[in-house]
Amino acid sequence: MSFDPDTIAAFVDGELDDLTARRIEREAESDAALAAEIARYRALTAKLSAHFAPVVDEAVPERLRALLVEGGIDISMADRRNAKHRLFAPVHWGAIAASLVFGLTIGLRPWVPAADIASVNGTLVASGALADALDTQLASDQLANAEIRIGLSFRDRQGRVCRSFEARDVSGIGCRDSGRWALERAIGGRANPEYRQASSGELLAAAAVMMAGDPFDFAAERAARDKGWRN
């Protein structure tokens, strides 16, 4: 093999001049070691590309888009930064994960009454009592001691109706999507000691970032319900 590793790397990276590149190609046809080395370099590039490729297809988080898209909710950078820190601190994610796993575990055991969260095609959606509350309960007309409390209802930038809620095991924001309430945000529920400190301010901040226009007032909330929460 008459090419050094740097030249092989440059070849694989498309950095060689045409003449040298053609020489390598020709030589690789008869030099198995060189061909294997080229394959090894290519395999690494392919493996790394494949590993990171899914990130590009992920939906860009609203908090990033909101910084660049006009018509965003006008909350100050400082507010947003505070909200961000509260929302994404690792300790909270732990609580969220715990809540979700808890909910899902119950959901997967058919002999236990339906839990509040289910997974449909890889998306977490509200089910059971939570779905019922999101479907029917009006923030303006709920009992003070209701098991599940509805907060804000609003339209997000994709035009979906979204509603924030607080319950014992999980609190969050559900958005109406294909006839279900997809959980867009979830934090620990009222039963979680951390939740009391974080409180519903967190949900409000998250809702503010997602929102297009103003939150629904009493009449708009009722009208949206009567239309079945359709876009």
Partner 1 sequence: MRFEEELVELLPRLRRFARGLARDASDADDLCQAAIERALKSRDQWQQGTRLDSWMYRITRNLWIDERRAAGRRGVHAPIDDAVTQVAGDGAAEVEAGALRGDVDAAMARLPDEQREVVMLVLVEGYAYREAADILELPIGTVTSRLARGRETLMHYLGEAA
CA distances from 123 to 93, 102, 109, 130, 174 (A): 17, 16, 18, 16, 12
CA separation for the pair 158, 117 (Å, rounded): 23
Q: Which of 22, 25, 26, 40 binds partner 1 (CB under 8 A)?
A: 40
CA separation for the pair 214, 109 (Å, rounded): 40
Q: How far is the CB of 16 from partner 1 (least distance, A)?
A: 11
85 to 124: interface string for partner 1, x by CB under 8 A? ---x-x--x-------------------------------
Q: Which of 56, 78, 91, 144 binds partner 1 (CB under 8 A)?
A: 56
CA separation for the pair 122, 213 (Å, rounded): 29
CA separation for the pair 33, 27 (Å, rounded): 10
Query: 61: alpha, beta or left, given left = phi > 0 and alpha = psi -120 to 50?
Result: beta
Contact 117, 105 (CB under 8 A): no
Q: How far is the CB of 52 from partner 1 (least distance, A)?
A: 5
Q: Which of 23, 84, 86, 157 binds partner 1 (CB under 8 A)?
A: 84
Select from 67-75, 102-110, 125-133, 194-202 the region that touches partner 1 (CB under 8 A): 67-75
In the numeric block, the tokens 């009992």 are attached to 143
Looking at beta carbons only, is 43 or 101 nearer to partner 1? 43
Answer yes or no whether residue 17 interacts with partner 1 by CB under 8 A: no
Residues in contact with partner 1 by the rule CB under 8 A: 5-6, 9-10, 13-15, 40-41, 43-45, 47-49, 51-53, 55-58, 60-61, 63-65, 67-70, 77, 84, 88, 90, 93
